[in-house]
Amino acid sequence: MQRFKCIVTYDGTHFAGYQVQPNKRTVQGELERALKKLHKGEDIRVTASGRTDAGVHARGQVIHFDSPLNIPLEKWEIALNSLLPDDVAVIGAARAAEDFHVRFDAKGKEYRYFVHLSSRRDPFKRHYAYQFPYALNIDSIKKAAAGLVGTHDFTSFCSAKTEVEDKVREIQEIEVVEEGDMLTFRFKGTGFLYNMVRILVGTLLEVGSGERDADSMPAIIEEKNRSAAGKTAPPQGLYLWKVFY
C-alpha cells in the first residue's frame, strides 16, 4: 500500500458540502466514487484536511488515501480527473509517508472570503461572492480585524452546533483588500472552528456598516458566547484556499 496526498479544487455550488451524507451529492462522495472505479470496485476511503459546508468552495483542499495500485505518479491526476465530474478536479498528486495524516499534520490553513460591493446583482458572481449593497468603512474593518489576530478562545465565533471542546485557535493574519468592487478577506491560522470564518466576516461587516465598534472584538471574544458575535456570512463567498504542512 502507498499513501497519496492530492490537492483538490471544487466549485461548491452544487454540492451538499464536502463530507459524505446519505442521498446527497458531496465532494467526498465523488472522490470515493472515482477512486472505487479506478480500483475496480474496491472501496477506498478518502480523508480530507477538513470539511467545507454546502456552497463553500475550495482552491486547495488536501486529501489523502491509500492505494495498492502501481500507477506512475504523473498519471494519478489524469486518471482521477477523467473519472470526476467537472466541478471537482485534482490539481496535484504526491506520494506521502505511510503515517502522514492530512488533518493532524496540517500546520495551518488559509481561507479567503469574497464580498462583492455593489447594489447591483451580477449573475456571474452570484455563486462566487457575497453581494453586499451597503456602504462600508474599510478602515474600521481593518482595525477590528487586528483585534482578532492572536491566540484566543473563539467560542463566540463558532457555531453553537459544534462538538469540538477546545476552542482555542491562533489567527496568524487577517488581510483585508479592496480592489474595485471586490473586498477580499484573507485569514491565516493554525485551524478554524465550525463556521468560524463566516462568523468573523459577518461580524467584521457589521463593524464596517457602523453597527459595531471597531474596538469591540476583544469584548466579544471575552464573552465566549456565540450570540455576542455577528451574523454568519453566507457560504458562497468562502474558499478554502490553502493548507500548510
- CB 59 to a second copy: min, Å: 8
C-alpha cell of 12? Answer: 461548491
How crowded is residue 1: how many other Cβ atoms within 10 Å of its Cβ? 8
If the CB atoms of residues 88 and 96 are measured against a second copy, the closer one turns out to be: 88
Spacing of C-alpha 62 from chain mean position: 11
Nearest to 238 by CA among 180, 199, 191, 190: 199
- CB 127 to a second copy: min, Å: 9
**Catalytic residue of the set 43, 53, 105, 153:** 53
* Residue 160 contacts residue 233 (beta carbons within 8 Å): no
CA distance 133 to 119: 4
- CB 178 to a second copy: min, Å: 22
Q: Is 245 annotated as ligand-binding?
A: no
Using DSSP's 3-state secondary structure scheme, residue 18 falls into coil
- CB 209 to a second copy: min, Å: 21
Strands 168-179 and 57-67: unpaired
If the CB atoms of residues 24 and 126 are measured against a second copy, the closer one turns out to be: 126
If the CB atoms of residues 100 and 128 are measured against a second copy, the closer one turns out to be: 128
Residues near a second copy (CB under 8 A): 9-11, 57, 81, 86-89, 91, 120-124, 126, 128
If the CB atoms of residues 39 and 125 are measured against a second copy, the closer one turns out to be: 125
Is 105 in the active site? Answer: no
The label of the residue with cell 497519496 reads 4
If the CB atoms of residues 85 and 108 are measured against a second copy, the closer one turns out to be: 85
Q: Which amino acid is it at 106?
A: A
Tell me how far CA of residue 76 lies from CA of 40, 82, 127, 198, in angstroms.
15, 10, 30, 34
- CB 203 to a second copy: min, Å: 26
How crowded is residue 134: how many other Cβ atoms within 10 Å of its Cβ? 10
> Which stretches of the chain are assigned E, i.e. beta strand?
2-10, 47-48, 57-67, 88-96, 108-117, 130-132, 150-153, 168-179, 182-189, 238-244
- Intra-chain end-to-end CA distance of the chain, in Å: 22
Which residues fall in the annotated binding site? Answer: 111
Residues labelled catalytic: 53
Which residues fall in the annotated binding site for substrate? Answer: 111
